[in-house]
Chains A and B, each alone.
Chain A
Amino acid sequence: MLPILAWRNIWRNPTRSLVVILAISMGIWAALFMSGFATGMIRDYIDSNISNVVGHIQIHHPDYAREKDVRLQVDPLPGLEAFLASQAPVRAYSARTLATGMVSTANGSRGILIQGVRPDQEAVVSNLRQNIREGTYFEEGRKNQILLGQPLAEKLHVKLRSKVVLTFQDLEGNITNGAFRIVGLFNSGNTPFDESRVLVQASDLGGLLHPADQTGTPDPVHEIVLLCRDPDSLVAVQKSLQTAFPRLLIENYRELAPELELYESQMKSVSLIYLTIIMLALIFGIINTMMMAVLERFRELGMLMAIGMNKGRIFSMIVMETVLLSLAGAPLGLLLGGLTIHYFNVNGLDLSAFAKSLNQYGMGTDIRFDADPGVYWQTAMMLVVTAFLASLYPAWKAIRLKPVEAIRKL
C-alpha cells in the first residue's frame, strides 16, 4: 500500500506535480538532444577522419613517418597485397605513393603532400570520389590528371582545367617536376586536409619518381591504408599483419591520430556530462516541490507517526514519492529524446550556415545525431539517483517532526 499511497500523494496537487514532471521530461529531452548532437558530431569527425585521412590501419616503412623519404617504401609489396586480399576481415585497401613537394601555378606556390593513388582502390577506401564538388574523378586512360581541394584551389587562384606544376624529389634525390591538369575539385569538409594535399594517379607519380632509365619498374608504394569490415576486429587484423610482416610499421587510427581516441573516449562521457549538468539543475526543483509537499502535510505526517508509522516508513514514503514523481517524467522525456535523435539521425541537422568555421576544425555540417542504446538506461538510472538524492532532505525534515507539534493537539 505504501507505493500506492506514495503515488496518490503525488496527485494531491496535480498542477504542481505536472510542472515538475514536465520539467523533468524537458530536462531528459535536452540531455538526450545534447548527447545525441555531441555524439553525432564526434562520430562524424572520427568517421570523416577515418574515411578521408587515416583509414582503420596504415602500413608504412618503419622510418617513413620520421624521414618522409620517398625511398622508404612498403616492402615486400606483392606478398603484403596477397596477404591483404586473403584476409576476410579486411574490407578494402589502397596502396598510395607519397611525395612531399610543391604545387605551383602562375599565381604562386604552396608546399603540399602529393598523394598518388590507384583510383579504383582509393574510391573504396576513402570518400574522395563522393567529395568531388566540381569536375570528375580520375578518368581512365588520361594521364597527368590532378584533384585539388577547393580551399587549396581558392588559395592558388586556380579552377577546373587549370594547369599546375608539381615539384618534388625523385628516388635518386634529383628535383623533378610534372605538369598536371585539374580534373576535379573536392571538398571533404575538413579544410586542413583539403589544403594540404593533392591527389594524382599513382602511375603518373611513380613514373616521375623513377629516374628516366628505370621506367617500367613497379610504382613505389609508401603507404597502404585499409578498412576493416568491423571496426572491432581492427586490433586482431593489426596483430595478424604485424606477425606476418614484422619489419613493417602497422598502426591503427588511434595510434596514428591520438586525438581520435580522445574524441572516442569523450563520446562515452559526453552524455554523462550533459546529464549531470541537467540533473543538477533539476535536483533543486525536485527538492523544492517535495519540501512543499512535506510542509503542507506536516499535520498529516504527525498523525501518521501518532498512529504508529515509524520514521523509517515515513522516510521511505517520501523517498518513494520523490522517485515516483521523477520517474513519471522519464517516459515522456526518453520518448521525445529518442524520437528527436532518430529524426536527426535520418534527416541530419544542417549546420551549413557555419560550414566555414566547422570545416576549419575538420567537422562536418550535416550532423547525424547518434546515441548508444546504453544512454537511455544511463539517463533513467541517473534520474533515479537524482530523485533519491533530492528526496533525502525533505524526508529528513519529515522524520524530524514531533507528532505532538505537528498535530498541535491530539
Chain B
Amino acid sequence: MTYAPFKDWENDGRKGAPRGGLTSNLKNQIIMAVIKLDKVSKIYDAGKIPVQALDQVNLEIERGEFTAIVGPSGSGKTTLLNIIGGLDRPSSGDIEVGGVDVDQLSDNKLIDFRKDHIGFVFQSYNLIPVLTALENVEFVMLLQKRSRKERLERARELLQAVGLEDKMDKRPSELSGGQQQRVAVARALAPKPSFILADEPTANLDSTSAGNLLDIMAKLNAQEGITFVFSTHDPRVIERARRVVTLVDGAIASDVRKSEPVQ
C-alpha cells in the first residue's frame, strides 16, 4: 500500500475560504499545530450533584505526535477529546489550537474551524449511510467548497491509501466494520486537518482490522507527520502510541513519552 503525498492546499483559491474569520497568518500558525490546554476544568451540573469531569488539566500536544489518552471509564477521556475538538466548551481554563483560543469562537466559527483543522474518527464510524465510500470522503471537501475535480482526485487518493480502492462505490452497509473505519480515517484526512482526534477507533473492530487500521494511521503519522490523538482502552493502540497520557478522575495521572518510533 502506497500513500501519495498531500498536495499543497494552501492559497489554492478555494471559493470563500478560509471561513470563520481565520486569517492566513493564523492558518500558518495552525499548520505548526500545538494543542495547548491550560488548567482546563469541566464540571457537568445537569443533575443534582455536579460532576467534575476534568480537573485543572494542563496538556500540550505538538505537531506529529501519536498520542493515546487512556484511563478507566469515567476518567474524562471523552470529555477531554470533546473539548480539544471544539465539540464541548470547558467550564474554566484556556484551550488553544495553533494559537487560536477556540473557546472564544462562536458556534458557527467553531464549526468552520473544525471543518478546516480537525479530523474526527468516531468509535462507531458514523459514516453517512446514504453516500458511497467515495462520496463520504468527498463530503467534507464539498463543505470546504473544493472543486469537483479536486474532491474526486483526493478522495480516490485517500481511499487508495487506506486500501479501499476497490470499495469506492460501496455504501457503508456494504462494508465491514474495519473497512468502514478506514473510510472514516480517509474522511478525517480529506480536509487536510491539523490533527486527527480518534475516539476508541478500534473498539468495535476485530484484531486483524484493528491491526490494519493502526498500520495505516502509524504510517500516515510517520510519513506525513499527521498528528493523532486517541482516546482508547485498547492495549494494541497503547502499545503503538509514542505518548501515553493517563487520566484518573479527570486529572492527568501520568504522561509518558516513549523513545522508540511507532511501527
Contacts and interface: CB of A to CB of B under 8 A. Distances in A.
Interface of A: 1-2, 4-5, 8-9, 11-12, 299-300, 303-311, 313, 403-404, 407, 409-410
Interface of B: 78, 81-82, 85, 87-88, 107-108, 111-112, 114-116, 120, 122-123, 126, 128-131, 135, 138-140, 142-144, 187, 191, 197, 199, 231
Given A300-B128, A410-B87, A306 B114 contact: yes
A281 B187 CA distance: 42
B213 to A, nearest CB: 17
B129 A311 contact: no
B130 A308 contact: no
Nearest to A2: B142
B111 A308 contact: yes
Contacts of B87: 306, 403-404, 407, 410
A311 B128 contact: no
The 4 closest A-B pairs by CB, nearest first: A308-B115, A8-B130, A410-B199, A303-B126
Given A9-B130, A404-B82, A410-B78, 16 more contacts: A1-B138, A4-B135, A5-B139, A8-B130, A11-B130, A12-B129, A299-B126, A303-B120, A304-B128, A306-B87, A307-B114, A307-B139, A309-B143, A409-B78, A409-B123, A410-B231
B61 to A, nearest CB: 15
12 contacts: A5-B131, A303-B122, A307-B139, A308-B114, A308-B116, A310-B115, A404-B82, A407-B87, A407-B126, A409-B123, A410-B81, A410-B199
Nearest to A6: B130
Contact of A307 (B81, B115, B129, B199): B115
Contacts of B107: 311
Contacts of B191: 308
Contacts of B129: 12, 300
A12 B111 contact: no
B82 A409 contact: yes
A77 to B, nearest CB: 79
A8 B131 CA distance: 8
Given A1-B135, A410-B122, A311 B111 contact: yes
A307 B85 contact: no
A310 B113 CA distance: 10
Nearest to A9: B130
Contacts of A313: 143
